[in-house]
C-alpha cells in the first residue's frame, strides 16, 4: 500500500517536471518569436508618415531597393506583382511595401507612378536619411551608396535583395531570397492566410 503511494507520488513529480519543462520551453519560444519586430516609419509620396503598426492584421512583404536599378528591383517587383495577382481575394490581407534606399532620387523621379506600373497595391516609401537608416537598421539589412563611374549620377546602391515577410502581429516571419519564384512565395503565403 505504502509502496503504491510512493510510486504514485514519484509519477506525480515526474509529470509535474515535464509540465514545468514544457511551460518553460513554450515561454522561451514565444519570447523568441516576439524578439524580432522590425519597424519602419517613413513618408509615402503624399508625405503621410506610414508605420509598420498601421499594417497589423496583415502580412507585409517588405523590399529595400531603388528605382535606378534596372535589374534586381524590377525583377523582384514583377514577382511581387505576380504574387498579388495569383493570391486573388486573399491579396487583401497582404501589403507589399517598397522602401527606397535612394530616397532623394526616387522621390524626384516619382516612386508611385513607377511602382503602380508593376502593381497598384505596392506601397512606396521614401524618407529622409535618418528615417531610412532607422528602417534599414531595424530590419537588420544592408544598404549603402557606392561611388561608381559606371552608374547614372556617379553612384549606385548596394542593398539587401531579399523580400521580408512580416506577420500580422508585426513579427518577422521569414525572408524570400532574390530569385524565389512568384509561385513559391504565393504557396507560402496561402498556407499562412
* Chain contacts with another protein (rule: CB under 8 A): 67-72, 74-75, 77-79, 81-82, 108-110, 113-114, 117-119, 142, 146, 148-152, 156, 158-162, 177-179
Q: Is the torsion defined by CA of 127, 129, 130, 134 positive or negative? A: positive
Least gap, CB of 155 to another protein (angstroms): 12
Least gap, CB of 114 to another protein (angstroms): 6
Nearer to another protein, 21 or 179 (CB): 179
Q: At what angle do helices 72-87 and 182-192 cross, to 10 degrees?
A: 40
Nearer to another protein, 61 or 77 (CB): 77
CB atoms within 10 A of CB 106: 23
61 close to 96: Cβ distance less than 8 angstroms: yes
Nearer to another protein, 55 or 64 (CB): 64
Least gap, CB of 54 to another protein (angstroms): 27
Look at the block and give the residue holding cell 506577420.
167
Nearer to another protein, 81 or 125 (CB): 81
Task: Please state, in angstroms and rounded to a whole number, the distance separating the CA atoms of residues 157 and 159.
Answer: 6
Least gap, CB of 153 to another protein (angstroms): 9
Q: Pull the grid cell for residue 53.
A: 503598426
- How many whole angstroms from its chain centre is CA 8? 51
Least gap, CB of 7 to another protein (angstroms): 56
Task: Please state, in angstroms and rounded to a whole number, the distance separating the CA atoms of residues 186 and 90.
Answer: 10
Reduce the DSSP state of residue 132 to 3 states and report it: helix
Nearer to another protein, 23 or 117 (CB): 117
Amino acid at each position: 500500500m505504502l509502496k503504491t503511494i510512493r510510486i504514485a507520488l514519484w509519477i506525480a513529480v515526474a509529470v509535474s517536471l515535464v509540465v514545468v519543462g514544457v511551460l518553460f520551453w513554450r515561454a522561451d519560444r514565444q519570447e523568441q518569436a516576439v524578439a524580432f519586430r522590425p519597424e519602419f516609419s517613413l513618408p509615402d509620396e503624399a508625405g503621410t508618415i506610414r508605420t509598420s503598426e498601421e499594417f497589423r492584421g496583415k502580412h507585409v512583404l517588405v523590399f529595400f531597393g531603388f528605382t535606378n536599378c534596372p535589374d534586381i528591383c524590377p525583377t523582384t517587383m514583377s514577382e511581387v506583382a505576380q504574387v498579388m495577382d495569383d493570391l486573388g481575394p486573399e491579396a487583401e490581407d497582404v501589403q507589399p511595401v517598397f522602401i527606397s534606399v535612394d530616397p532623394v532620387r526616387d522621390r524626384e523621379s516619382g516612386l508611385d507612378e513607377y511602382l503602380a506600373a508593376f502593381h497598384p497595391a505596392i506601397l512606396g516609401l521614401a524618407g529622409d536619411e535618418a528615417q531610412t537608416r532607422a528602417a534599414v537598421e531595424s530590419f537588420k539589412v544592408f544598404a549603402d551608396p557606392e561611388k561608381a563611374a559606371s552608374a547614372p549620377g556617379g553612384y549606385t546602391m548596394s542593398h539587401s535583395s531579399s523580400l521580408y515577410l512580416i506577420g500580422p502581429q508585426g513579427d518577422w516571419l521569414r525572408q524570400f531570397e532574390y530569385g524565389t519564384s512568384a509561385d513559391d512565395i504565393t504557396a507560402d503565403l496561402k498556407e499562412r492566410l
